[in-house]
Chain A
Amino acid sequence: MNIDSIKNGLVIDHITAGKSLQIYEMLKLDLLDCSVAVIKNASSRKMGKKDIIKIDSNINVDLDVLGYLSPNATVSTIENGVLVEKRHISPPERLVNVIKCKNPRCITQTEQEIKHVFLLTDREKPEYRCMYCDTAAEKTV
């Protein structure tokens, strides 16, 4: 499968296979005017299968969202056809308004204006828990 190489833009690589559409949605890439390629199940020596997203514009992506959904992803910045930066993503310590607490007993269910904050409680898994009620976020994988 051929996808044109990018001149100025971003390549989000090493996405956990199957996560690209969720990332596309949560990063609101559907609102962009430029070309966006979502590649699912590309073969990878390290991962077996992986997803890739190519964005034909140098936008700011929310690395917290990315780190939460696919903690091993990389973000490469391309300028004039040259790779100028490659960032390795890691799970963020704190997620603000990325996911919502589903515990019906949590104060976030009634206090409409407050931020939904999740804290990284286990880096290995990784596992996030609501800052207010300690309920674990639903698994992303």
Chain B
Amino acid sequence: MRNLINIMDLSAKEIDGLIETACDIMKFPEKYERACEHKILATLFYEPSTRTRLSFESAMLSLGGQVLGFSEANSSSAAKGESVSDTAAIVSGYCDIIAMRHPKEGAPLVAAQTASVPIINAGDGGHYHPTQTLTDLLTVKREKGTFDNLTIGVCGDLKFGRTVHSLIGAMSRYEGVRFVLISPEELKLPRFVKQQFIKDKGIPYEQSTQLEEVMDRLDVLYMTRVQRERFFNEEDYLRLRDSYILTPDKLKSAKEDMIIMHPLPRVNEISVEVDKDPRAAYFRQAHNGKYIRMALILKLLEEAKA
């Protein structure tokens, strides 16, 4: 059974295929409106995530399919102590495909071991969030027209920011890419992520603690939120929360065609004044999420049939 647990489960060619399908869906939505008729998506969300869940549900409904599921652990059998593997095995009988979000790292992989339908990892703690990365890639492609020869700046929480790790992994497969890593010392990119995706591949990169210093060379600025839920210690969270706040003033030295991305929700790391800037791509990015998820559901259901 084909699942999507980690973005690296997909080859660059497969990602290109998904992006192509997503763009086709945007252009000709009517072609796809009955593509998943009589198919059911189960959204098993053990922690709340409005945007991701609604985006999955909207994707399936737009394909003519149906959805069922739960949006927090308290309203599921998990509250009675049922294991993830048992839930996955049982729910497989009620649906054709599962999107799972869980606060524990590796939970969707555990589910995939007992499920008899494809599992999509919709975020497992601070670990992976592959459909966010697909959304990010679709956004880069639509906004910049290419993945090659781009300088990608990632800013904020690079330690716990799972979207950053996956984005770096996925982008590291394209020609001429450079990375600029902007974070406070405490939230630097983990050594093994840097080794695996940047150093081992000989990709040029630089590190900085000052966003303004590197702004002028970025083609893409990917901002992240310092997430309260990833800290055990409230004091550390409060201290690091306001490390980088993007304002129109800081954008003065940025390229005219740079794009600003953010996986959302934001807290205060991008000032609302930036929203008016045409380079702010984060709302367009959030809309892209639905279409790439439609393409993914189609692909996995197609492969499950074969």
Contact = CB atoms under 8 A, between A and B. Distances in A.
Interface of A: 103, 105-114, 121, 129-136
Interface in B61-83: 83
Nearest to A135: B105
State the main secondary structure of chain B at its contact with A. mixed
B192 A107 contact: no
B255 interface: no
A136 B104 CA distance: 16
5 contacts: A103-B105, A105-B104, A113-B85, A129-B192, A134-B105
A105 B47 CA distance: 14
Contacts of B178: none
Given A105-B104, A107-B105, A136 B126 contact: no
B83 A106 contact: no
B221 interface: no
Contacts, number: 52
A66 B11 CA distance: 35
B107 A107 contact: yes
B110 A105 contact: no
B104 A106 contact: yes
B184 interface: no
A111 B127 contact: no
Nearest to B102: A107
Nearest to A106: B105
B19 interface: no
B83 A130 contact: no
B232 to A, nearest CB: 8
Q: Report the 4 A-B pairs with minimum CB-CB distance, sorted nearest first.
A: A132-B106, A133-B105, A107-B104, A107-B106
B110 A111 contact: yes
Contacts of A113: 83, 85
A134 B83 contact: no
Contact of B110 (A129, A132, A134): A132
A134 B109 CA distance: 12
Q: Which of B83, B103, B105, B125 has the most CB of A within 10 A?
A: B105
B127 A110 contact: no
Contact of B106 (A106, A112, A121, A136): A106
Q: Which of A107, A129, A130, A133 has the most CB of B within 10 A?
A: A107
Contact of B104 (A109, A121, A134): A109
A103 B103 CA distance: 13
Q: Which of A103, A112, A121, A132 has the most CB of B within 10 A?
A: A132
A114 B85 contact: yes
Given A132-B109, A133-B127, A134-B127, A110 B104 contact: yes
Interface in B85-104: 85, 102-104
Nearest to B5: A132
B84 interface: yes
Nearest to A104: B232
Given A114-B110, A132-B110, A133-B105, A107 B126 contact: no
